Amino acid sequence: MPKFLDSHPLKGANPETLKKLQDSPKDEFGVTHLNLIFSEDEDKMYCFLEAPDKEAIKKHHDKYGYKCDYILEVSSTSDD
């Protein structure tokens, strides 16, 4: 499955909410959270995700009212 990195504002999401999101199952768009990296001070969040394509990532974020600054398909040294 392709892997993606995106960035967008944190919009006040707290660490507990982000942990629940990271542990959630694959959604209806086929998106799985691999890691969520954030800075509350900078109001910035970076998502490392598995998804079928960029459009699935966009739909996933649109559902929650987030507009990504960018979505990049990336490679990872991790096997998982």
Full-prediction pTM beyond 0.75? Answer: yes
Structure tokens at 59: 């739909």
How is the chain split into domains, by residue range?
3-74
What b/e readout covers 36-52, taking b as 16+ CB neighbours within 10 angstroms? Answer: bebeeeeeebebbbbbe
Outline where the chain has alpha helix (H). Answer: 15-22, 54-63
CA atoms of 57 and 30, how far apart (whole Å): 9
Q: The domain 3-74 is classified under which CATH number: 3.40.50.2000, 1.10.10.10, 3.30.70.3090, 3.10.50.40?
A: 3.30.70.3090
Encode pLDDT of 40-79 as tens digits: 999 999 999 999 999 999 999 999 899 999 999 999 887 6
